[in-house]
Structure 1
Amino acid sequence: MPLVRVDIRQNPDPAFAKRIGEQIYAALRRCIDVPEHDNFQILTEHDAQHFIYDPQYLGIPRSDGNVFIQITISEGRSVEKKQLLFKTIADSLHSQLGVRREDVFINLVEVKKENWSFGNGVAQYVT
């Protein structure tokens, strides 16, 4: 059900973006009960010219280590579960990959279940 998009600046470690995705998937499983194998991610690296951010919006000091995460999920999770997910992702990226918590930018997009097709031109969640 989630579709995860991760955008980072080009990293010398070619596996860095994939490792970010692994941490996000683990947090999704743990915090909002995403089923096993429900792992769809688009991981993109950008050069400096194509990676723009404000270094101090809302008083949060950001660096070139920014990780932009957009997660599209079916609607219906509580605010508490969403907050737990945000914290878990930030803490996990910090402890496992050394990403500064200030550099973890997450945007959650909720959609109705009828707006998903996982293949074959069928809306699998429509009853």
Structure 2
Amino acid sequence: MPFVEIYLRKGKTPEFRKAVSQAVHKSMRQVFQIPEDDFFHIVHDMEPGDFLQAPTFFGLKRSADSVIIRMTFNHRPPAQKAELFEAVADHLVETAGMRREDVLLTILETAAENWWAQGRTIDPETGFDTRMSPEAMAAGRLD
């Protein structure tokens, strides 16, 4: 049950906001194989003075179109998180027309027992939603 927060500068179109959200969700479906309806995103419109960053980072110029995306979900193996980072960046380029240099991604991991939504059932052996495929659950295991 991922939870996504998207931070961007105020003034972006509804279409852009939707494209960014769709890019993240598509990536999570692709990499984590989450169900289509496992979708909880909040878009934060930030005043220019509240979205602060260095104009260059790692020698790359950032633009006023930068976004910060925080993804919260259960613990995942490092390789799967790296795959997610690449998928999100790729999908943001193709879906929202963004530059990879304008994307900052961060993950906040939490234990499966820290989530609740009416109707959700958890497999006690895996800690994942029972609607997820065995392959998706196996890919997300840390053991």
In 1, the alpha carbon distance for the partners of 2:45 and 2:16 equals 10
The equivalent residue for 1:97 is 96
Matched letter for residue 59 of structure 2: G
Q: 1:12 to 1:41 in 2, by over 3 A?
A: closer
The equivalent residue for 1:54 is 54
Count of aligned pairs between the two proteins:
124
In 2, the alpha carbon distance for the partners of 1:124 and 1:53 equals 40
The equivalent residue for 2:129 is none
Contact 1:71 1:107 in 2 (8 A): yes
Q: CA deviation at 1:20?
A: 0.7
TM-score (norm 1): 0.87
Q: CA deviation at 1:13?
A: 1.8
| Secondary structure of 2:98's aligned partner | coil
In 1, the alpha carbon distance for the partners of 2:85 and 2:62 equals 17
Contact 2:29 2:36 in 1 (8 A): yes
Q: CA deviation at 1:119?
A: 4.5
**Alpha-carbon displacement from aligned partner over 1:19-47 (angstroms, at most 9, x marks no partner):** 21011101100011212210000011122
TM-score (norm 2): 0.78
The equivalent residue for 2:138 is none
The structure that has the greater radius of gyration is 2
Matched letter for residue 49 of structure 1: G
Contact 2:7 2:44 in 1 (8 A): yes
Q: CA deviation at 1:60?
A: 3.1
Matched letter for residue 109 of structure 1: L
Q: 1:115 to 1:126 in 2, by over 3 A?
A: farther
The equivalent residue for 2:132 is none
Q: CA deviation at 1:104?
A: 0.9
The equivalent residue for 1:43 is 43
Q: Cα RMSD over matched residues?
A: 1.9
Contact 2:20 2:95 in 1 (8 A): no
Give the share of equivalent positions with the same residue, in percent: 31
Q: Which structure 2 residue ranges, 5 or more long, are not aligned?
A: 125-143
1:27 aligns with 2:24: no
